[in-house]
Structure 1
Amino acid sequence: MVSFIELNPIDLGRCSLMYPYGPTVGDSVNPKSDDGTSPEISISVPFTFYGRPYKSLYVNNNGVVSFGVNVSQYTPDPFPLDGGTPFVAPYWADVNNVLGGNVYWRQTQDQQTLSRCTADINQYFPEIPFTAIWAFVATWDRVAYFGTASKKVNTFQAVLTTDATISFIILNYANIEWTTGIASGGNAKTGLGGIPAQAGFDSGDKKNYYNIPGSRTPDILYIRDTTNVQFPGRWVFQVDDFVIGVTTEKSDCLL
């Protein structure tokens, strides 16, 4: 296992994986509310997630971007889910932004952001012609866990992008220091134990889903050291119809 060392060169490199976020780039911010959510966000370009185009989404404080309904559940379940709610989970756990941190989001057709999405996807999927026309960036910035008695915080991000036909998600991890809130059995002083965070995505059809290795185990604390695209701290998936070139076996790229 690799322990956290603040602001070493590797950590700075991981921070560079994050897309710009916060007030300076015009992000909206979720209310300070335990288990809270954004309002329903109408999106200007439908995002196709496993064959179904969605025209709105929610950014949920507990580390989930969901389609159709908001998600207030704080203890993660393993994928596939029984409830049928499709969502992307960069880090599904019991976040409490009242105790620390902010949850930011924006949809954008800013050319700089779209060019970055295009370049990233072309690098990781050179066999798929792709030029982004829309992106959605959701960022959990230095968020605390429910019942925290420590200064531990997590920073992670989900980027959704599409060319109106093909859709991708990019999951970025800058800093992960805790896995569990106390209502999920975690320790107030460490943020560890109990039922740890879940990461990946679930289409809601019980067929198309992905659990990032380490999900709901203590190893999820080290997700920033893992990848499926040879860049620790980043996971990328095509999600419009089926995952091309990504299986459970091939994605177990623990660095």
Structure 2
Amino acid sequence: MICEANTTSTTTVSTTTPTTTAWTAPAIFYPFGSAAGDHEQLENGGESYASVGLSTPFVFFGRTYNNTYVNYNGLLSFNMQSISGPYYIPTRGAEDYIAALWNDFDDNYSGVYSFQQYTNGSVLTRATHDINQYFPQMNFTASWVFVVTWKYNLQPNPAILFQVVLISGGGHSFFLMNYGDCAVLYGQVEAGYDTINSISHFVIPDSTNGNYQNLKNTSNVNVQGRWAFISKSGRESLIGVQMRLTSYSDLTQSGKIEAVLQQIKQELVSHGLPSSIEMKIRNVKKTQP
């Protein structure tokens, strides 16, 4: 007897659909873009700007402004639109401005900048928390917030992303500068702020020494990618600075004294004091009663 068995061979082919994770901005960024209801403006080589009337006046180092200019080149200015440059701060000119990331982006990149003002809601709650964290002696409550965000080279995700947040309330004004990724930029780059005649000014060091792509890892408030400043001429609060000296001669030899004073000044300015502060060492002689 011969038994024959018929067998059927089956082949299963499985396919997988690649999944992509939606891009999200770094957690330090305030809400922005169309999803947040921002007014958006496209920049594609036109060197554009937007003049924005402020619903609440903003005091910038002693001068009150009801209007600001959001410029394509990463500049938030108060006196005039689209300041050319960038120039190295201090400019000692006739402008008040915040240089979030000052560069001629239109020469190499296209993108979008957007902005929105808030007078209530969760954004104010967040701003209140942030300012009280960085300036705990202020006991601050935010009543107005203005968020400006720049995004360049948008495909597939922003290759350059940065933001300025103006915050005011109770007679006090502050501003935050937030940094995400930064692609290669051409020409001069600078981040910081300047005032009329440069009475108060500050430059984030990594913005001018060739390390601008590292801005997302820098901070003056121990929060990666964020810089926070109080917008006030002659800050009244007390700040402590801790420094390690290599030897006692750092405070006794004239050449070394100046270097130490400059380091202390830079640290104080990075925490929001005006750059016009003067540092001096006073010699105190102990006498026997």
| Alignment of structure 1 residues 90-109 onto 2, 5 Å | 90-96=100-106, 99-109=109-119
Q: 1:154-212: per-residue Cα shift (whole Å, max 9, x none)?
A: 101000010051110100011112232xxx3xxxxxxxxxx3x1001111232201111
Shift of the 161–252 alpha-carbon distance from structure 1 to 2, 3 Å rule, reads: closer
**Letter matched to residue 75 of structure 2:** V
For structure 1, the residue ranges without an aligned partner over 5 or more in a row are 1-10, 146-150, 185-194
When normalised by structure 2's length, the TM-score is 0.70
1:52 aligns with 2:63: yes
* Matching residue of 1:3: none
* Residue matched to 2:17: none
Give the one of 96, 105, 108 matched to 1:86. Answer: 96
2:163 to 150, 154, 157: 157
1:116 alignment partner, SS class: helix
Larger RCO: 1 or 2 (CA < 8 Å, sep 6+): 1
Give the superposition deviation at 1:35: 5.5
Helix, strand or coil: the match of 2:91?
coil
**AA partner of residue 85 (structure 1):** E
Distance 1:220 1:252 in 2: 17
Paired amino acid for 1:84: A
One-letter amino acid of the structure 2 residue matched with residue 203 of structure 1: T
Match of 1:41 in 2: 52
| 1:240 aligns to 2:242 (yes or no) | no
* Structure 1 pair 97–167 and aligned structure 2 pair: CA distance change class (3 A): farther
Q: What is the DSSP-based 3-state SS (H/G/I as helix, E as strand, rest coil) of the residue aligned with 2:106?
A: coil
Letter of the 1:117 partner, please give it.
Answer: A
After TM superposition, the structure 1 = structure 2 runs for residues 156-175 of structure 1, keeping only pairs within 5 Å, are: 156-175=162-181
2:30 aligned with 1:19? yes
Determine the structure 1 residue equivalent to 2:82: 71
Matched with 1:189 is: none
- Structure number with greater Rg is 2
Q: Hey, what does 1:6 align to over in structure 2? A: none
RMSD of the alignment, in Å?
Answer: 2.6
Task: Please give the alpha-carbon distance, in whole angstroms, between the structure 2 residues aligned to 1:116 and 1:154.
Answer: 24
Q: Which moved more, 1:38-47 or 1:239-248?
A: 239-248
**Offset of residue 252 of structure 1:** 6.6
Secondary structure class of the residue paired with 2:138: coil
Counterpart in the other structure of 2:129 = 119
Match of 2:182 in 1: 176
Q: Which TM-score applies when normalising by structure 1? A: 0.78
Instruction: Give the distance between the partners of 1:158 and 1:152, measured in 2 at CA.
Output: 16
Secondary structure of the residue aligned to 1:15 is coil
